[in-house]
Amino acid sequence: MLKPSVSTSDNLRILKLSLFDQLAPHDPLISIDCNDEGVEYVQTKVNADDLPEFRHRQANDIESSLLDLILPVMVHMPSSPLLGVQVNVFNNGGIAIGIKISHNIADAFTIATFVNEWAHTCLTGTISTHNYLPSFGQLSSLFPARLMLQLPSPSTPGPENIIVTRRFVFDALAIEKLRKTIKDDSTTTDDDDMIKQPSRVVVMMSLIWKVLTHISSAKNGNSRNSSLGFAINFRGKLSCVPSLEHALGNYVTIAIANMEADGARKDQLNDFVKFVGNTVRDTCVAIGKASSIDDISSLTVNNWKICVEKLLQEDKMDGYITSSWCKLPWYEADFGWGKPFWVSRVGFNDIEGAFLMDTKDGNGIQLIVCLKEKNMTEFEKHLDNLSSTPIVG
């Protein structure tokens, strides 16, 4: 356990959680006791020359359990550390750093900020100087947790529905080819650039949804209502509280794209791009128009309720979750050995869904996909048909 060099002052001992922390997927807590017990640090020696060799040796393991080996083992208990680090040293001197942090206190922006601040301190021996000071506690003072708020949680899959994780990489060329398959819709206005010229993230989320919908239709013998939920970062989008651009903690909302099984043919990528693009645009517009803290709180709670309710209707409809960690500075973290050659999130084997992360060059996208095993087999078959899409096993 690595303890802080300076004790926490009494006035900072209790870190209250915000509404967004309360809604993040985790075991619920009301506050954090900053008791200076420290963080868990583990160093291992890996009997392999490098990470690719290690992965090759473990080829029979599913991807998620493989990467679990280079992560710290943390028990989810109220008294457990909120942060754990495992530094894995390979025979050739290469290093893989595995990090686990409680979702009670951190979203992707927070993790990326922490890792880069930590790396900068290691590299230079000094704390970085910004025109802002990243800190916790800002969000809870404006958006306090609601003690009476209770949201149902999706059930954990049984043994017959074990969820597995796979990785797929789309380079810039593959993404551009997908863009070219998106047909122009004459009903789209000139202002809808998000739909006419969709971003990499919108294209990839739409592709994931399209493939999963096709798999569902084939399995059920008919199309079903379908929803795709995805996280949208509040930072930089709120005109009513612009000072929170660098706030640490959880600071996202969920947007939900919906598709009705109305008999109309919806199997082209541009159909899904339109649904996803419209949802991103409408949600961002609603965030930008919010004039008060209450507006943001209501939007967040309502969206989470809708998302969870849809996920709980799995016997009647299909619900999927995606989250983009793109455009965050994962590949800028230099601890003194150079910048990383690969950064990845480990699978979340609770519900079916996907994470999107940048490739090292910043132009491609790595998909971390979690699906029931039978669905994963079909998903891989669909992506194999995209010949320019290399698959990372």
Q: Are residues 129 and 167 in the same domain?
A: no
260-287 pLDDT, tens digit per residue, is 887 655 678 999 999 999 999 999 999 9
pLDDT of residue 390: 47
What backbone phi and psi angles, to 5 degrees, belong to 85? -130, 135
pLDDT of residue 193: 64
- Alpha carbons within 13 angstroms on the beta-carbon side of residue 347 total 25
Do the domain assignments include residue 151? no
Q: Are residues 294 and 205 in the same domain?
A: yes
pLDDT of residue 373: 86
Whether 187 has a pLDDT exceeding 90, the answer reads no
Question: How does the average pLDDT of the chain come out, rounded?
Answer: 85
Do the domain assignments include residue 1? no
- Alpha carbons within 13 angstroms on the beta-carbon side of residue 236 total 4
Return the closest-CA partner of residue 70 out of 301, 369, 353, 346: 346
pLDDT of residue 192: 64
- Whole-model pTM: value is 0.89
92-134 pLDDT, tens digit per residue, is 989 999 999 998 899 999 999 999 999 999 999 887 766 666 6
205-263 pLDDT, tens digit per residue, is 999 999 999 999 998 888 899 999 999 999 989 888 878 888 999 999 999 999 988 76
Find the angle CA(387)-CA(348)-CA(15) to the nearest 5 degrees: 140
pLDDT of residue 60: 44
Q: Are residues 132 and 265 in the same domain?
A: no
Whether 308 has a pLDDT exceeding 80, the answer reads yes
For position 116, which CATH number holds? 3.30.559.10
pLDDT band at 62 (very low <50, low <70, confident <90, very high): very low
CA separation for the pair 340, 326 (Å, rounded): 16
Mean pLDDT of 50-60: 69
311-346 pLDDT, tens digit per residue, is 888 888 998 999 999 999 999 999 998 999 999 888
Q: Are residues 360 and 242 in the same domain?
A: yes
Whether 61 has a pLDDT exceeding 50, the answer reads no
pLDDT of residue 129: 64
End position of a domain, from candidates 82, 107, 142: 142
What's the sign of the alpha-carbon dihedral 309, 315, 318, 324?
A: positive
Distances (CA, A) of 130 to 117, 134, 137, 246, 362: 11, 9, 19, 11, 24
**Bridge partners of 365?**
170, 358
Residue 300: which domain range? 161-392
Return the closest-CA partner of residue 201 out of 367, 383, 393, 390: 367
Count of structural domains within the chain:
2
